[in-house]
Structures are given as structure tokens and as C-alpha cells.
Amino acid sequence: MNKVYQEAPSNIAIVKYWGKKGIQEPMNASLSFTMSKSISKIEIQHAHSEEELKIDFLFDGQKKDSFLPKIQDFIKRNEKHLSNITSGILKINSSNTFPHSSGIASSASSMAALAKGLYSINQSIGNEQEYNPQVVSEMARLGSGSASRSTQTGWVLWGKTDELQGSSDHYGIEINNQIHENFHSLQDSILVIRKGAKSVSSTVGHQLMDNHPFKEGRLKQANKNIKKLISALKQGDFKIFTEVCEEEAMSLHALMMSSSPGYTLMAPETLRAIKRINKFRDSNHVPLTYTLDAGPNIHLIYPKEQSKIVHPFIKEHLAPLCEDESVIYDEISMPLQQ
């Protein structure tokens, strides 16, 4: 019996991946940071036998057969890296440290944890020591695009861009050694405006970009924003960072609204919260910005040293706009040596 334990964080993209080409390759490069407290955990056991591979999947200790087709598909797509687990019994037990449908991307962390776990169990059975982060990120990508940015830590770029040598459409790469210390301790407070499931899956959202009337424009904008963001992160420039962050959040939603069919993913409280954030920032001159995923919830981003002034503002003016006043206080995770 072989056994491994792995975990992977969720991430939030500042420049968004929205639209695919080929086999799960991005239309443009995206850049995100991983989160500290929002983690998927996975324990995998493998019992050897010559029988056809059998998978048992448990989520939070409960059997969840509805997830099996996704896992089987994942294993099939990655079979060239999983040659030691073609038979026997695989027992997978997974859990998240954060609530489901809270605006935190669980597909990114869970697919990244699955990729790390399956890669490790395969290595352990074969007695192989090497850990290749590019292969693991590539495996995760085939489960969920954004998961390619969750197998590593901190600032991770996924997608080929002229702005960064070694960048690839196939896997994410950490760029932490290029990041100014101003961006090493960002706070990410998630305003949970709605707890329910998303009204449109990201799979459908990506597909809608194929024939989107603004596809060319979006590509240009994403390429411009990657360049701007990398430069702001290097310089420690929070003002430029803010410009990119908010333009990307609004574009993602505008692209969804102008798709055919169109989807409005913000809630009225999302817009009310954004107005309050802008007003608070203008009157207090606090470096504070926000981004959105493909849903109504807001990721409020600010440097750690601003927490003293931002937290009372969240409690008084933003939490009342959230479902059950729910706010999740998370922050960036950076590799230990940083």
C-alpha cells in the first residue's frame, strides 16, 4: 500500500484567462497569486493488484461517486505521467478549508491538489525521486486551466507572452523573484455577496469567447495588461496595479454581458460595494483595489499594513452587503525563501 498527502492553494487572477484554444490552452497569458488559507487537501492511497483500476472518491469523508467521471477523465488525459497506476485500487480523500461556492475558485485548488497527489503516488510506486513542477502544472491544466497556476506558490504566470522568457501555454511558472516587496504580503478579503453556485460554468464562459464580437479587442487588452502588470509588480507600483486589476475585473464581466447569450454575473450589492470602495479610497487615499471572478463576489486587495484602516471599513460598510455578512479574510501565500 502506497500513501501520499498533498495540498494546493486557490488562486485569484489579476489578468484573467477567458477563452481557450487547442487542448485547454489559453487565448492569452494570465497572472495570479495563490492564497494562504483557501486550500484543497488530498490523501491518496494505492493498493496494488492486477485488476482493472478501481477508484474510490471521498469528499470530506463522504463517498462522492458523482465526481468519478471527472477523475477518470483527468487520469486518462494525463496517462503518460501516471503509468504506475493503471491497475489496482486508488482511494482518494479530498477536502477544502473554505466553503463551497464562496467566490473562491475550488476547481483551481482541487485540480491542482489532484495533479500533485496523483503525480506523487505514481512517483512513490515507481520509487522515483524527481519532482518536475512543469509536468505537475501541465497535468493540473488539463483538469482546469486556472489550476495550472495553483500547483506552485505566490505569483504564477501561465501562457506564452513576449514579456517573459520561458513562459508557456502548457504550464505556469513562478515569477516571485521579480516581484517588488510591496506585493509580497497582499491581503485578499473576499466579500461573499452571494453564496449560491455560479449561474454559468467557466467551461461555457470560455466557449462564448470563440465567436465573441470583442475577441480581438480582448486579446489586445489582455496582452497590454500583462505587460503593465509585470512592470507594476517589478516596480512596486500599486497605482498601476489597481488600474490593471479593475480593468480586468470589469472586462471579464463586460465580456460575459456581451456574449451571445449574455450573462449578468454581478448582483446589485456587487455594484453598491464597488461604489463604496471607490468612495472610501478617494476620501482616505488608501491603496485598495478589487477584482472579481466569474460571479458576484468581490476580492478586496490591499497591502497588509492597511489592514487597520480597511478592516473597520469592511465591517461597517461592506459586510452588510454580503450574504449573512460573510467575509473571508485571506492573503497571498509566498514561498518560504522570499
Grid cell listed for 246:
479593475
C-beta of 13 vs 322, nearer to ligand PMV = 13
Binding segment for ligand PMV (CB under 6 A), chosen from 12-20, 37-45, 132-140, 233-241, is 12-20
Q: Restricting to residues 186-205, which ones interact with ligand PMV according to CB under 6 A?
A: 202
Grid cell listed for 129:
525521486
- Whole-angstrom Cα distance, residue 122 to residue 129? 11
Q: Restricting to residues 295-324, which ones interact with ligand PMV according to CB under 6 A?
A: none
> In the complex, what is the shortest distance from the CB of residue 137 to ligand PMV, in angstroms, rounded to a whole number?
13
C-beta of 17 vs 155, nearer to ligand PMV = 17
> In the complex, what is the shortest distance from the CB of residue 144 to ligand PMV, in angstroms, rounded to a whole number?
4
User: Is residue 30 at the binding interface for ligand PMV, with CB under 6 A as the rule?
Assistant: yes
- Whole-angstrom Cα distance, residue 332 to residue 13? 12
- Non-local (6+) Cβ contacts of 21 within 8 A are 27
- Whole-angstrom Cα distance, residue 60 to residue 101? 16
Indicate which single residue of 96, 109, 123, 144 sits in contact with ligand PMV (rule: CB under 6 A).
144
Q: Restricting to residues 212-241, which ones interact with ligand PMV according to CB under 6 A?
A: none
Of 166, 158, 168, 118, nearest to 139 by C-alpha is 118
Of 69, 24, 48, nearest to 125 by C-alpha is 48
C-beta of 44 vs 249, nearer to ligand PMV = 249
Of 149, 152, 151, 200, nearest to 31 by C-alpha is 149
The answer for 104, left when phi > 0, alpha when psi is -120 to 50, beta otherwise, is: beta
User: Is residue 105 at the binding interface for ligand PMV, with CB under 6 A as the rule?
Assistant: yes
Indicate which single residue of 2, 16, 98, 117 sits in contact with ligand PMV (rule: CB under 6 A).
16
**With contact defined as beta carbons under 8 Å apart, do 218 and 18 qualify?**
yes
C-beta of 88 vs 172, nearer to ligand PMV = 172
- Whole-angstrom Cα distance, residue 267 to residue 298? 11
C-beta of 122 vs 168, nearer to ligand PMV = 168
Binding segment for ligand PMV (CB under 6 A), chosen from 9-17, 63-71, 166-174, 216-224, is 9-17
Binding segment for ligand PMV (CB under 6 A), chosen from 124-132, 139-147, 232-240, 317-325, is 139-147
- Non-local (6+) Cβ contacts of 163 within 8 A are 29, 226, 227, 230
SS3 164: coil
Indicate which single residue of 107, 109, 137, 152 sits in contact with ligand PMV (rule: CB under 6 A).
107
Binding segment for ligand PMV (CB under 6 A), chosen from 127-135, 140-148, 175-183, 191-199, is 140-148
C-beta of 188 vs 293, nearer to ligand PMV = 293
Binding footprint of ligand PMV on the chain (CB under 6 A): 13, 16-18, 30, 105, 107, 144-146, 202, 252, 293-294
